[in-house]
Amino acid sequence: MKFTISKESFLDAINQVQHVVSSRTTLAILSNVLLKAKDGVLELTTTDLDVGVTCSVPAEVDEPGATTLPARRLATIVRELPSEEIEFKVDEKNVASIRSGPSYFKVLGLTSEEFPALPRFDDAREFKIEQQVLRDCLRKTSYAISTDETRYVLNGILFSFKDNALTMVATDGRRLAMVEQELEFPQSQEIDIIVPTKAVNELSRLLGDSGEVSIRVTGSQVGFDLGDSLLVSKLIDGNYPNYRQVI
């Protein structure tokens, strides 16, 4: 694999995905970022097996391929590089050579085949909403998420898609935050899901001021497709309390 990319583009991309990486993981592959280069695009992916994020950026791809490299070390190296252009070359042993101006680094990676695949959403329910609207809804509710792990169904935000509206609710038992947004979708698509705290935090970081986000839901997973980035997460399994009783 060989590609050239601007420092700014690479930093923007790795900053979007590296927060998912846990510093306490026992699996070495989960400390790495998956890099896939082909057709003028570099795709970066990280996961902790509960939440995953993918980001795509333009790159000059001379030799397509894939590898995984330590995410935090890679971000630190690139941040300190002097030149605006970076050349990556990865050999068959997953050793990456990184060149930028007079600087040169070698980083040992792991094969891309070891990296866990993110879930697919081929037959999912789908809802579309403006990014800024969803970001505002998260801001108005996320502060009330419970941190009490014994009440795990409260460790996230309820997304209730019903009656042509998205209702989002969070509560810690002492306070309750709720916001309702009109949204058109078929009645057959109605569903309640609970999105966990980590996914909420990562989504808040990814959402921008413009553009649409597509929300796709399967039985136990949710995906938020922002176009050039994608966040997937396991859902919290359980029934959210009847919040309307306390309104």
Q: 30-44 pLDDT, tens per residue?
A: 999 999 999 999 999
Residue 54: closest CA among 206, 217, 201? 206
Number of residues written out for the chain: 247
Output the CA torsion sign for 181, 187, 188, 193: positive
Are 76 and 22 in a shared domain? yes
pLDDT tens digits along 175-189: 999 999 999 999 999
The stretch 92-114 carries a mean pLDDT of 96
Task: Name the domain boundary from 114, 146, 181.
Answer: 114
Are 95 and 155 in a shared domain? no
Are 172 and 94 in a shared domain? no
Residue 168: per-residue pLDDT: 98
CATH number at residue 177: 3.10.150.10
Helix (H), strand (E) at residue 109 = none
**pLDDT at position 219 over 90:** no
CA distance 18 to 41: 19
**pLDDT at position 63 over 90:** yes
Q: Containing domain of residue 138, as a range?
A: 125-246
Q: 222: exposed, middle or buried (C-beta count within 10 Å: 0-12, 13-18, 19+)?
A: buried
The stretch 213-235 carries a mean pLDDT of 97
Task: Name the domain boundary from 82, 114, 146.
Answer: 114
Residue 243: per-residue pLDDT: 84
Are 77 and 143 in a shared domain? no
**pLDDT at position 1 over 70:** yes
Are 106 and 189 in a shared domain? no
Task: Name the domain boundary from 72, 91, 114.
Answer: 114
More confident call, 88 vs 25: 88
Look up residue 201 and give its two tokens.
């935090």
Q: What percent of the chain has a predicted confidence (pLDDT) above 90?
A: 93
Cβ count within 10 A of residue 76: 10
Residue 74: closest CA among 90, 52, 91, 63? 90
Cβ-based neighbours of 216, under 8 Å, separated by 6 or more:
121, 124, 125, 126, 222, 223, 225
